[in-house]
Structure 1
Amino acid sequence: MSAVRGLFNFLLFSSLYVACIAIVMIWQTNTLLHVQEVNHVYYFFVFCATMCSYNFHWYLTPADYSTSERIQWGARHKGLQLALCAISGAGALYGFWLLKEHWLPLGGAAVLTFLYSAPKLPQRAFVWLRKIAVGKTIFLTTVWIYVTTVLPLFIERQPYSHDMLLFALHRFFLVYALCILFDYRDLESDRREGIRSLITWLSPRNLRKLYATSLVLAAVFALALYPVDNWLLTGILLAPVVITTGLTRYIMQNRSDHFYYFVVDGMVMLSSLLHFILVRSGLL
């Protein structure tokens, strides 16, 4: 059992799992919005870039005042995190070179991703960012939607449609609600690090209202997508919204890293995974 737990920890805490989440989400974007010619280099680029950025972020996260199993795992595996960051960073640069005709939007995504982790750097210029990072939850959500939903369509030069906007908004509010759950759990550690966010600023009552509103809007935009395909697909899009809503009380009382980084993170890709399974089984 210890070997299985060690492998599970590696998949979660090395960020392999979250990199796979990004890939499945891009697949759903291409499939749901009927992208005819998929650039598979972009999958490679995003996988490597996600591994690089997340390992960089967790490498910089101090373990001094945290009992988090993920942070403690990172403290014991600093060399591994640095190696994964370097290897995946090299892969991301190679992918960037292959996609160099899209250097501006890809470069923008890279800069935004770096700025999310920048407040953890010890240099004075970056420490200053901790005081103004009030919108870091919105910032992280925007980066995820930009990379998994907007950029794939831009790279393939898909003409704009209302379905694109509705799908992006559905994903944005779902991911934002899930990010609120993470920030709520990490509220005290963020305060100790001096990192300000909307979550540390809002009262508990207003935070609950923001969270509930995000889930409602995620459901509304999922319903608005009908009849982009059929009711089965609409049900798939609604599944993570409904499950997250039902689990909210339990999630807010839970502090387990395994639960958050496997189940709560998994809600981000649940509809994508269900979509993939149904397409492969011939039901969609």
Structure 2
Amino acid sequence: MNKGKHLNKAPIASAILPVAIKKLLEALVYSSVFISCCAFALTLETYWLAGLSSSMPMAVFVFLATLFTYNLSSVQSIIRRANQQRNRQSESWVLRHKQSMAVLGVLSITSAIAVYFVFGLQINTWFILHLAVISIGYTVPVLYKKRRIRTLRSVPLLKVFLIAYVWAMVTGLLPLLDAGLAAGQPETWLFFARRFLFILALALLFDVRDYHYDRQMKTLTFPGLIGVQNTKILSLGLLVAYVALLCATEESTLLLALVASAVVAAAVIIFASEHKPRLYYLLLVDGAMLVHAGFVYLATR
């Protein structure tokens, strides 16, 4: 009799496990913890590529700042509509957990400030300030003389360049400056250009994902201008330019690791379409950055 009870529990347990994994995956992805881990990994990767000692406080600072930036819209929404009721019935994970994401955003920026002061991070104020203006302006509309100025992300064709610029600055240039490298050195800007091209190639895919939504909102993006397939070709072309820069600046095992990561990114680009589920982009496109860092880690051990 007891044996029968145990047999009945087995299928129940096997059914519950995938549901729990799915919920955990959704929480990591939609709360932006996953993409913040990607920023953390790319920051450490920069130290590895440059042959410098890694700064864990700087990597943690980048993780927390990224987490705040990606949850900023939830923070703004809660501040503007403090009495808004939680929508538990919504199909959207983000809408169901908007208050939690706002709390996460506040905690992350508070923790980032604490890390900055406790570890005495040497970050140029103007460097951080201009990135903060871009990041906030990307999400939050500005009121000027009672007129609502649209967000930077709604400016035609600008979104992907802003994403690539901020990511290349934060995960590429910031660690190099932290390690004492001069901003005017050609090697520093070559590294920035490499990171910019790689991120830009991936960022274009989010325009592919949002193709139908952007058309409804009348926001001009690259897929709306040149079509989805041509946008993917452009993205692959950027990866080719990235590999060309790699061949000019890297060699041996590191070059193979970086080229391999570009091949993985190319596969993600080839199979992308406007009909792919949101998780395809949040896991695989963002995950290409994690693969990138993982290959470099293996190559430098």
Does TM, scored on the shorter chain, surpass 0.5?
A: yes
Q: Which residue of 2 aligns with 1:219?
A: 243
Report what 2:63 is aligned to. Answer: 47
Alignment of 1:75-154 (within 5 A): 75-97=95-117, 98-99=120-121, 102-119=124-141, 124-127=147-150, 129=152, 132-154=155-177
For residues 31 and 228 of structure 2, what CA distance do their matches in structure 1 show? Answer: 32
Q: Does 2:202 correspond to 1:174?
A: no
RMSD over equivalenced CA pairs, Å: 2.8
Q: In structure 1, what is the Cα distance between the partners aligned to 2:152 and 2:264?
A: 35
Measured in 1, the distance between the counterparts of 2:45 and 2:151 equals 38
Tell me, in whole angstroms, the C-alpha distance in 2 between the residues paired with 1:129 and 1:207.
21
Q: Following the alignment from structure 1 to structure 2, what is the Cα–Cα distance between the partners of residues 128 and 107?
A: 18
Which residue number in structure 2 is paired with residue 12 of structure 1?
Answer: 29
Letter in 2 for 1:46: V
Distance change >3 Å, CA 251–CA 277, structure 1 → 2:
same
Instruction: Note the C-alpha offset of 1:201.
Output: 3.1
Would you say the 8 A contact 1:166–1:224 is kept in 2?
no
1:233–1:108 CA distance, 2 compared to 1 (3 A): same
Distance 1:25 1:133 in 2: 28
Q: Name the count of aligned residue pairs.
A: 267
**Residues 267/242 of structure 1: CA separation in 2 closer, same or farther (3 Å cut):** same
Aligned residue type for 1:2 = V
Aligned to 2:280: 259
Q: Is the 8 A contact 2:74 2:99 kept in 1?
A: no
1:268 paired with 2:289, answer yes
- Cα distance in 2 for partners of 1:71, 1:23 equals 30
Q: 1:124 to 1:35 in 2, by over 3 A?
A: farther
In the alignment, structure 2 segments of 5+ residues that lack a partner are 1-17, 78-89
Contact 1:35 1:158 in 2 (8 A): no
Aligned residues of 1:48 and 1:88 also touching (Cα < 8 A): yes
The residue type paired with residue 95 of structure 2 is A
Tell me how far apart the structure 2 counterparts of residues 138 and 188 of structure 1 sit (CA, whole Å).
20
Task: Report which of the two structures shows the higher radius of gyration computed on alpha carbons.
Answer: 2
**Does the Cα contact within 8 Å between 2:228 and 2:273 map onto a contact in 1?**
no
- Equivalent in the alignment of 1:66: none
Contact 1:96–1:106 at 8 Å: present in 2 too? no
Amino acid paired to 1:28:
E
Letter in 2 for 1:51: L
**Offset, 1:210:** 2.4
Whole-Å separation in 2 of the counterparts to 1:145 and 1:130: 17
- Work out the CA distance in 1 between the residues paired with 2:123 and 2:202: 34
TM value normalised by structure 2:
0.78
What is the CA deviation profile of residues 191-221 of structure 1, one whole-angstrom value per residue up to 9, with x for unaligned ones? 3234333443334565344223212111111
Percent of paired sites with the same residue: 25
Where does residue 234 of structure 1 map in the other structure? 255
Shift of 1:126: 3.3
CA contact 1:174–1:215 (8 Å) conserved in 2:
yes
Taking the aligned partners of 2:164 and 2:138, their CA distance within structure 1 comes to: 11
Structure 1 match to 2:5: none
Counterpart of 1:201, as a letter, is L
Q: Structure 1, unaligned stretches of length 5 or more?
A: 62-69
Which moves more between the two structures, 137-146 or 210-219?
210-219
8 Å CA contact 2:208–2:274 kept in 1: the answer is no
1:45/1:95 contact within 8 Å kept: yes
Which digits, 9 at most, give the CA deviation of each residue in 1:75-98, with x for residues without a partner? Answer: 111111111111112112323444
